[in-house]
Homo-oligomer: A and B are copies of this chain.
Amino acid sequence: MFAELDTPSVLLDLDRVERNVRRMAALRDRLGVRLRPHIKTHKIPELARLQVAEGAAGITVAKVGEAEVMAAAGIADILIAYPVVGRHKLRRLMAVAQQARVSVALDSPAAAGDLSDLGEALKQGIPIYLELDTGFHRVGVSPRDALDAARALQRLPGLELVGLASYGGHVHGVGDTAAVDSIIAAEVQLLLETRDALHRAGMPVEEISIGGTVTTSRAAVRPELLAGVTEIRPGTYIFNDLNTVAEGACREEDCAATLLATVVSRPAPDRAVIDAGSKSLSSDSSPRIAGRGRVAGSGQVVEWITEEHGMLRLDPADPLAVGDRVAVIPIHICAMMNLHDRAYGVRGGQVVETFAVAGRGRVQ
| Residue A34 at the chain B interface, CB threshold 8 Å | no
In chain A between 273 and 322, which residues have their CB closer than 8 angstroms to a CB of chain B?
A: 273, 275, 278-280, 282-285, 306-309, 311, 321-322
Contact with B along A3-14 (1 / 0, CB 8 A): 001111100000
CB-nearest residue of chain B to A88? B6
| Residue A63 at the chain B interface, CB threshold 8 Å | yes
- A85-B273 contact in complex given A307-B62, A338-B279, C-beta closer than 8 Å: no
User: How far, in angstroms, from A9 to B279 measured CA to CA in the complex?
Assistant: 19
Residues of B within 8 A of A266 (CB): 108, 110
Residues of B within 8 A of A193 (CB): none
Residues of B within 8 A of A340 (CB): 361, 363
Does B139 contact A309, Cβ atoms closer than 8 Å?
A: yes
Does A138 contact B85, Cβ atoms closer than 8 Å?
A: no
Does B335 contact A279, Cβ atoms closer than 8 Å?
A: yes
Residue from A107, A108, A279 having most chain B Cβ neighbours under 10 A: A279
Instruction: Offer 13 A-B interface pairs, CB within 8 angstroms, sorted by A.
Output: A6-B88, A62-B308, A106-B265, A138-B309, A139-B267, A140-B265, A140-B267, A279-B335, A279-B363, A280-B363, A283-B285, A339-B339, A339-B363
